[in-house]
Chain A
């Protein structure tokens, strides 16, 4: 059981992508990759599962759609029908055009807000949380792979150097440094 891990720094996203592909090919586990911007294709290179957030968002939209219909039906038809502009006030379907903007807005509202909240929770982000990234340079112009050492540390290091790693730091997790 390895208690050591590597923090490998890159200064170019293409080099990073190539290195990640090679690391995955050698079956060395990658804990996390920190990048200053989304790198297209990185999720595929890391063999991450495709996101399900679009399906979740669709569901949230359906919830908003239903809530809006039930709400407008209760407010405008069941609880307190009003005569607005001489329109029939006792039938949902005959009043439906007036409710469409509300239904649309609530669908968007539910889908958007719940999607963002889901994304935050799934990414383990919440207010006052301390930053997790091990190197502040990854918020500027550097890319960092947090990975296992692999069976042979020296060999791993050579391989990473070949792909343009600018620094490789060995982290000893037992002593809880950094």
Chain B
């Protein structure tokens, strides 16, 4: 009855059609993006909230969004245009150039957000896997092959992110303004960070993180497969040591990755707990993905050794880490709100003024909903409710990443158009394809693990 997973043609067709639909959306997004300042002007004139935007020209070129007008110089894009104003002259032209940059960035950012999001799901699962190995956990062995399947996406996911970053470095877009030497030349704050924020060092770091993660992923996968036909306890010990070492590397590299790939999009702003905050987000979305895939495969009669105690444990993690995420979100928000320092608080002013519903709606989806629904022990073992909450959490954390990237990339020109939805579907399709293909390649039960019996008979005492 313990049949190994076959990559069904249904899943294959589904994922490939997602990729095709996604590609069409992305292509439309790039096609409709303006390639000149004049085109951008025309698009803005045709937009419904174009009039709001026109009103801002009263503030002069320095301000981009209403809230930032008090400290226009501190906001990244505002700062940039402030200085260009001197060289290029003319408020009107400067403002239009700024809007052009935002609209030009839009399809890039729409692709970058889901690329990061799905890469981080995979990375979060890798961290969860390493924690299970390092803790020598007994309950989760039956989930190892699913986790190993999900982490297969890490390498392609990182490559997608690096390609987009590469285009940014080659000046195809204006996502990372510190990559533009002209901006840096006129911006003292960025100039002081050039020792860290420069293109060669940025990519050197990126290569180091990705190599470290993928190396651990591939070695642990190989050892795990080797263990299936070999009851050698030394493999178990080796995996334990490897995972403990990896976690040290991961915590440092993940933190730096979040500064590099996310926080540096706002090069003037910084938050000291940003790495933790990003980690909590990727961790909970990773665990949720494990739960969703597990329940899907179980419904296809593949995982008969998984009982509702395993699902209950995954749901407990979803519940707990959602609260942990909210704790970090609030810690970051409250300190910056309370101290009200212009350089820092612009970050939240942009989000509250231009992204109000998204910014607070995301907190409702990521904290209030899981908190209320998953508090009850009976609900945590009910597949239907775990799926429902899982989908909400996934959407919520996609919006979280959206909120990290979009305000700095496109300002108030955001929307959910074909490019945003297409980008999400494109990466979702690739993610499903890669993950399910990898799951089908190996026995679905890591039967050589010394704790496998404990895991198969795992029973939370309070469940029937």
Cα-based distance from A139 to B337 in the complex (angstroms): 53
**Cβ of B375 and Cβ of A97 under 8 Å apart?**
no
B316–chain A nearest beta-carbon distance, Å: 14
Query: Quick check: is B167 within 8 A (CB to CB) of the other chain?
Result: no
Which residues of chain B in 317-356 are interfacial with respect to chain A, using CB atoms and an 8 Å cutoff?
Answer: 330, 333-334, 337-340
Of A40, A98, A101, the contact of B461 (CB 8 Å cutoff): A40
Which residues of chain A in 91-109 are interfacial with respect to chain B, using CB atoms and an 8 Å cutoff?
Answer: 97-98, 100-101
**Cβ of A97 and Cβ of B461 under 8 Å apart?**
no
Contact residues in B for A127 (Cβ distance below 8 Å): none
**Cβ of B333 and Cβ of A97 under 8 Å apart?**
yes
Contact residues in A for B339 (Cβ distance below 8 Å): 85
Cα-based distance from A100 to B333 in the complex (angstroms): 12
Contact residues in B for A97 (Cβ distance below 8 Å): 330, 333-334, 337-338
B69–chain A nearest beta-carbon distance, Å: 18
A100–chain B nearest beta-carbon distance, Å: 6
**Cβ of B375 and Cβ of A58 under 8 Å apart?**
yes
Cα-based distance from A32 to B461 in the complex (angstroms): 21
Q: Would A98 and B338 be within 8 Å (CB), given that A40-B461, A41-B461 are in contact?
A: yes
**Cβ of B461 and Cβ of A85 under 8 Å apart?**
no
Contact residues in B for A85 (Cβ distance below 8 Å): 338-340
Contact residues in B for A54 (Cβ distance below 8 Å): 377
Q: Would A100 and B338 be within 8 Å (CB), given that A40-B461, A58-B375 are in contact?
A: no
Cα-based distance from A48 to B461 in the complex (angstroms): 15
Contact residues in A for B333 (Cβ distance below 8 Å): 97
Cα-based distance from A41 to B461 in the complex (angstroms): 7
B123–chain A nearest beta-carbon distance, Å: 30
**Cβ of A100 and Cβ of B461 under 8 Å apart?**
no
Q: Closest A residue to B339 by CB, please name it.
A: A85
User: Which range contains the number of A residues in contact with the other chain?
Assistant: 10 to 19
B19–chain A nearest beta-carbon distance, Å: 42
Cα-based distance from A98 to B337 in the complex (angstroms): 9
**Cβ of A98 and Cβ of B334 under 8 Å apart?**
yes
Cα-based distance from A123 to B333 in the complex (angstroms): 43
Cα-based distance from A58 to B375 in the complex (angstroms): 10
Contact residues in A for B461 (Cβ distance below 8 Å): 40-41
Cα-based distance from A160 to B330 in the complex (angstroms): 58
A123–chain B nearest beta-carbon distance, Å: 19
Contact residues in A for B337 (Cβ distance below 8 Å): 97
Cα-based distance from A101 to B334 in the complex (angstroms): 10
Q: Would A86 and B375 be within 8 Å (CB), given that A40-B461, A97-B333, A97-B334 are in contact?
A: no
Q: Closest A residue to B462 by CB, please name it.
A: A40
Cα-based distance from A86 to B70 in the complex (angstroms): 16
Cα-based distance from A145 to B334 in the complex (angstroms): 55
**Cβ of B330 and Cβ of A100 under 8 Å apart?**
yes
Cα-based distance from A8 to B337 in the complex (angstroms): 64
Contact residues in B for A41 (Cβ distance below 8 Å): 461
A76–chain B nearest beta-carbon distance, Å: 14
Of B330, B334, B340, B377, the contact of A86 (CB 8 Å cutoff): B340
B180–chain A nearest beta-carbon distance, Å: 35
Contact residues in A for B338 (Cβ distance below 8 Å): 85, 87, 97-98
Q: Closest A residue to B340 by CB, please name it.
A: A85
Q: Closest B residue to A51 by CB, please name it.
A: B462
Cα-based distance from A41 to B339 in the complex (angstroms): 52
Q: Closest A residue to B330 by CB, please name it.
A: A100
Cα-based distance from A100 to B461 in the complex (angstroms): 35
Q: Closest B residue to A42 by CB, please name it.
A: B461
Cα-based distance from A41 to B334 in the complex (angstroms): 44
Q: Closest A residue to B327 by CB, please name it.
A: A104
Contact residues in B for A100 (Cβ distance below 8 Å): 330, 334
Which residues of chain B in 228-278 are interfacial with respect to chain A, using CB atoms and an 8 Å cutoff?
Answer: none
Cα-based distance from A97 to B336 in the complex (angstroms): 11
Contact residues in A for B334 (Cβ distance below 8 Å): 97-98, 100-101
- A 70-99 binary contact with B (CB < 8 Å = 1; else 0): 000000000000000111000000000110
Contact residues in B for A58 (Cβ distance below 8 Å): 375
Q: Closest A residue to B331 by CB, please name it.
A: A101
Contact residues in A for B330 (Cβ distance below 8 Å): 97, 100
- B 91-104 binary contact with A (CB < 8 Å = 1; else 0): 00000000000000
Cα-based distance from A100 to B339 in the complex (angstroms): 16
B54–chain A nearest beta-carbon distance, Å: 30
Cα-based distance from A101 to B461 in the complex (angstroms): 34
B454–chain A nearest beta-carbon distance, Å: 15
B58–chain A nearest beta-carbon distance, Å: 26
A62–chain B nearest beta-carbon distance, Å: 12
A112–chain B nearest beta-carbon distance, Å: 16
5 A-B contacts (beta carbon < 8 Å): A85-B338, A86-B340, A87-B338, A100-B334, A101-B334
Interface residues of B (CB under 8 A from A): 330, 333-334, 337-340, 375, 377, 461
Q: A86-B340, A87-B340, A97-B330 provided; 7 other pairs, C-beta below 8 A?
A: A41-B461, A58-B375, A85-B339, A97-B334, A97-B337, A97-B338, A98-B338
Q: Which 3 A-B pairs have the closest CB atoms?
A: A40-B461, A97-B334, A97-B337
